[in-house]
């Protein structure tokens, strides 16, 4: 091997270079220009390209076939050879100028100056370098590049692209799990046998290398409303409807079965519902609540006496002494017939509107003599009886307040009539205000008429007199007699 000097090699012109490796050019300083990769296998993505490469570590300052010198005089520690170029390479194969060292398991430089006899001729001196040798003038000196450090080699992969060895077979490599793919962030990596594919998720479509959301609402999948969301869509229904089992169609909601807010009756309709109320109620402003109708406030003629409003209805009540007749009218209670009175045996119970009256059985006043329960007679033998009615009959009656006028209220009837007698009727006493008058019907009867409306409670005691004139019984002029009917009139407090 040639000697090494401390000074750099200076060359001019061309010199013979003898080595079985790639050529490199000497600069003016003689320093190699380094290595640069110049070849790459075509086909496939960069991620897949990585899987098709084998790694070698060379103890040399020269490069394998696919590199050229550049920069410093060292090659990458792991220069690559395309697998597609040399599928038969093994761990023990090295490039020309190197031999396999089983101890280091690396390619080691061959010193051609020692192994080739007379490698250089004449005045030329042999200088060994990594992967070859140089024939230079003997006066020249070279500074060899240091050996690069030995780094672990990557295992040779004898399997096809997309596979890796496993024991005695090749197994698929999951590029998606190892993140050895070039799918975009918006895409999904799908591992396949020996490779992988990039595809868009459901609801997206591929535009160039990106996944764009599909607006499904454009295709009217929903019956009512469609809401597009990234990668999908959802259907919504109008109020009163709900999604059917297919999540697209809308079906009516029976609000009445689902607790509609109707306070009384609910009627389901298509898409909504209606609230209705029972009789006696009306629907409130909110359309849900039923409010009681105050029937009594609508009319004062619902009840004869008083209207009482109740939830959903009304009822009529009557004053004391009356009872309800039907549902609205009031009828006087005859306490004398029902026994609901406090009259004694010495009294007679007289029923009047709304109450009763106890009248003493002894009703005759001197000079009259009582001949029956209600008749008194004035004997002709008593001088005082000459100017008084011969008999007085007691009667009782009751009328309502504000009775329409004129109104016939009591008929007077003569019980006996003498031949040739002429009868007249008059109000003898008790009508100081002129509230009544007599209308004579014929010779034996007359009618008491209410002339003016009166309000109760109030009592009248009228003495109605029938005067009889009979000329046939008179010896010296006419014969005149009279009889009276004492009528007690009770005016009730109400119009019924």
Count CA atoms closer than 13 A to 488's CA, side-chain side. 15
Averaged pLDDT, 76-92: 37
pLDDT tens digit string along 342-359? 999 999 999 999 999 999
Averaged pLDDT, 206-218: 92
For residue 471, the model assigns a pLDDT of 74
pLDDT tens digit string along 188-197? 999 999 999 9
Cα 371 to Cα 166, 379, 384, distances in angstroms: 148, 11, 18
Percent of the chain beyond pLDDT 90? 59
Averaged pLDDT, 26-30: 33
For the residues of 357-378, what is the DSSP string, one character each? EEEES----TT-EE-SSSEEE-
Question: Domains plus CATH for the chain?
Answer: 17-137 (no CATH), 163-213 (2.10.25.10), 216-252 (2.10.25.10), 363-491 (2.60.40.60)
Say which residue, 387 or 68, is predicted with more confidence. 387
Helix (H) or strand (E) segment spanning residue 20: none
For residue 416, the model assigns a pLDDT of 78
Count CA atoms closer than 13 A to 148's CA, side-chain side. 24
- Residue 52: which of 188, 180, 184 has the closest Cα? 180
The widest CA-to-CA distance across the chain, in whole angstroms, is 218
For residue 419, the model assigns a pLDDT of 78
Give residue 29's pLDDT band: very low, low, confident or very high (50, 70, 90).
very low
For residue 417, the model assigns a pLDDT of 75
Tokens matching residue 128: 């060994």
For residue 146, the model assigns a pLDDT of 58
- Average pLDDT of the chain is 80
For residue 80, the model assigns a pLDDT of 33
CA distance 239 to 219: 23
For the chain, the straight-line distance linking the first and the last C-alpha, in angstroms and rounded, comes to 155
DSSP E strand boundaries for 95-249: 98-101, 106-109, 124-129, 132-137, 163-166, 169-172, 188-192, 195-199, 204-207, 210-213, 225-229, 232-236, 241-243
For residue 281, the model assigns a pLDDT of 97
Say which residue, 147 or 34, is predicted with more confidence. 147
| CB atoms near residue 230 (< 10 Å) | 10
Of the ranges 135-149, 156-170, 171-185, which is most confident?
171-185
Backbone φ and ψ for 105, nearest 5 degrees, come out as 55, 40
For residue 22, the model assigns a pLDDT of 35
Averaged pLDDT, 386-393: 92
Percent of the chain beyond pLDDT 70? 77
For residue 477, the model assigns a pLDDT of 55
Give residue 155's pLDDT band: very low, low, confident or very high (50, 70, 90).
low
Q: 302: which DSSP letter?
A: S
For residue 328, the model assigns a pLDDT of 96
Lowest mean pLDDT among 33-47, 274-288, 440-454, 472-486: 33-47
CA distance 185 to 208: 13
For residue 474, the model assigns a pLDDT of 58
Tokens matching residue 96: 């020309």
pLDDT of residue 86 exceeding 50: no
Of the ranges 56-70, 307-321, 407-421, 463-477, which is most confident?
307-321
What lies within 8 Å, CB to CB, of 329 at 6+ separation is 304, 316, 496
pLDDT of residue 402 exceeding 90: yes
For residue 136, the model assigns a pLDDT of 87
Averaged pLDDT, 415-442: 91
Q: What b-and-e string marks burial along 199-210, b requiring 16 or more CB atoms within 10 Å of the CB?
A: ebeebbeeeeee
| CB atoms near residue 229 (< 10 Å) | 11
Lowest mean pLDDT among 15-29, 91-105, 232-246: 15-29
Tokens matching residue 124: 């030329």
CA distance 16 to 460: 170
- Residue 484: which of 398, 401, 385 has the closest Cα? 385
């Amino acid at each position: 091997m040639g000697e090494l000097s401390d000074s750099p090699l200076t060359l001019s012109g061309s010199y013979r270079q003898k080595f079985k490796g790639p050529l490199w050019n000497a600069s003016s300083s003689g320093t190699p220009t380094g290595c640069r990769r110049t070849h790459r296998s075509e086909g496939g993505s960069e991620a897949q390209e990585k899987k098709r490469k084998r790694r070698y570590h060379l103890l040399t300052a020269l490069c394998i076939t696919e590199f050229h010198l550049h920069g410093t005089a060292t090659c990458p520690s792991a220069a690559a050879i395309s697998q597609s170029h040399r599928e038969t390479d093994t761990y023990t194969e090295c490039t020309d100028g190197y031999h396999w060292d089983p101890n280091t398991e690396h390619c080691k430089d061959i010193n051609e100056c020692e192994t080739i006899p007379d490698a250089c001729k004449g005045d030329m001196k042999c200088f060994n370098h990594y992967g070859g040798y140089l024939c230079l003038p003997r006066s020249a000196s070279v500074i060899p590049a240091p050996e690069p450090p030995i780094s672990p080699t990557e295992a040779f992969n004898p399997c096809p692209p997309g596979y890796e060895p496993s024991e005695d077979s090749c197994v698929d490599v999951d590029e998606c799990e190892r993140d050895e793919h070039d799918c975009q962030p918006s895409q999904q990596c799908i591992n396949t046998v020996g490779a992988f594919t990039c595809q868009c998720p459901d609801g997206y479509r591929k535009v160039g290398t990106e996944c764009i959301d599909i607006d499904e609402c454009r295709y009217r999948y929903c019956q009512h409303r469609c809401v597009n969301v990234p990668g999908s869509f959802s259907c919504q229904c109008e109020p009163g409807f709900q999604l059917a089992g297919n999540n697209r169609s809308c079906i009516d909601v029976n609000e009445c079965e689902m607790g509609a807010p109707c306070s009384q009756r609910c009627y389901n309709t298509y898409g909504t519902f209606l609230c209705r109320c029972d009789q006696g109620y009306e629907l409130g402003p909110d359309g849900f609540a039923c409010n009681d109708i105050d029937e009594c406030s609508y009319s004062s003629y619902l009840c004869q006496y008083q209207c009482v409003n109740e939830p959903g209805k009304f009822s009529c009540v009557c004053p004391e002494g009356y009872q309800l007749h039907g549902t609205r009218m009031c009828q006087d209670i005859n306490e004398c017939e029902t026994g609901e009175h406090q009259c004694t045996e010495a009294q007679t119970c007289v029923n009047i509107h709304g109450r009763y009256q106890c009248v003493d059985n002894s009703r005759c006043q001197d000079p009259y003599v009582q001949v029956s329960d209600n008749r008194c007679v004035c004997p002709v033998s008593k001088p005082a009886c000459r100017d008084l009615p011969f008999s007085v009959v007691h009667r009782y009656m009751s009328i309502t307040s504000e009775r329409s006028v004129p109104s016939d209220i009591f008929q007077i009837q003569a019980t006996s009539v003498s031949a040739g007698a002429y009868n007249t009727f008059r109000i003898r006493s008790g009508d100081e205000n002129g509230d009544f008058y007599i209308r004579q019907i014929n010779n034996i009867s007359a009618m008491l008429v209410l002339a003016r409306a009166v309000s109760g409670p109030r009592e009248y005691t009228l003495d109605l007199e029938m005067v009889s004139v009979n000329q046939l019984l008179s010896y010296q002029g006419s014969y005149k007699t009279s009889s009276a009917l004492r009528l007690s009139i009770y005016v009730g407090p109400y119009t019924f």
